[in-house]
Amino acid sequence: MNIKRLLCCLALLLAAPMVLADAPAADMQGKRDARTFTEAEVNAITSPAVLHRMVAGYERIGDQQRLAWTLARLSELNPDSGDLRMALALTYANLGDKSKTYDLLLKMKEQGYGVDLSDDPRFDKVRGTEAWTYVVDNLKSNLKPFGEGKIAFELPKGDTLFESIAWDPKRGKFLVGSVREGKIYLADKNGKLKEFITPADGSGLWSVYAMAVDAERDLLYVNTTSALYFKGFRQEDFNKTGIFKFKLSTGKLLRKYLLP
């Protein structure tokens, strides 16, 4: 989990004033000063884009308490994001809140996250207790390999950031999705790649984060998001997310389901 990468990307969204037009309970001018938000007001926000801007702003001005509220709300809206949860744990640690730090890290451990925090200076304010040792040991235990798995193949190195993989039983090949390129490749048993679906085909794919194959119906479902990591990123598309449906055998786009 790369927290520096997360915060650097959030910083790109930073606007000079901490004033948001699309925050809850707007005044007559349609704006609120985010520096005065209560926890309840933060929890009423449903737009991830607004919350990301708030994270960047609170990080800039050093408002750790509101940063914690905002990251907690973002984590609630994005429950599968380990980066957001780790950023929240770090914020709790900066506040010296041992109970919330330990509780969150243990929940992450139960979700399967593994990380070695034994020498991480960012958690200095909450270390030095038996509970901390227990948390660290449990998170480290998830790093240990288990079972008899072996490497099937390795994908070629490059600026691709492969984050998703699916199996096509009819072809007998894997499909791999790129966050950086927004492309979907076919991979043979040796890891050799062949382009299958690309944004240039007119599909409009952004970063590919997940795929699901329905071989019986000849369908491929793709979760795609306009993320900052996407090489073709445009500011006007920021945070757009959708499920795109393709014909599995040909890669033809059948339908887009854009999420609000």
- Token representation of residue 181: 């390129």
- Token representation of residue 214: 């329905």
pLDDT at 118: 94
pLDDT at 18: 54
Can you tell me which residue has the tokens 């901490």? Answer: 18
Nearest Cα to Cα of residue 229 among 15, 16, 8, 77:
8
Query: Would you say how long the chain is, in residues?
Result: 260
Nearest Cα to Cα of residue 33 among 74, 66, 81:
66
Residue 244 has φ and ψ, to the nearest 5°, of -105, 135
Which element (helix H / strand E) includes 90? Answer: helix 82-94
Can you tell me which residue has the tokens 């960012």? Answer: 122
Contact between 58 and 70 under an 8 Å Cβ cutoff? The reply is yes
> Per CATH, which fold does 162-258 belong to?
Neuraminidase (2.120.10)
pLDDT at 227: 84
pLDDT at 101: 97
User: Where are the chain's structural domains?
Assistant: 3-141, 162-258
Between CA 11 and CA 3 the distance in angstroms is 12
What residues form DSSP beta bridges with 213? Answer: 220
Can you tell me which residue has the tokens 């945070």? Answer: 239
pLDDT at 238: 86
Neighbour-count burial for 37-76, b at 16+ CB within 10 Å, e otherwise: beeebbeebeeeebbbbbbbbbbeeebbebbbbbbbbbbe
pLDDT at 28: 30
Q: Divide the 260 residues of the chain into consecutive groups of 10 and give the mean pLDDT of each group.
A: 45 44 39 88 92 92 96 92 93 97 96 94 96 96 83 88 94 94 94 94 93 97 91 88 96 93
pTM: 0.55
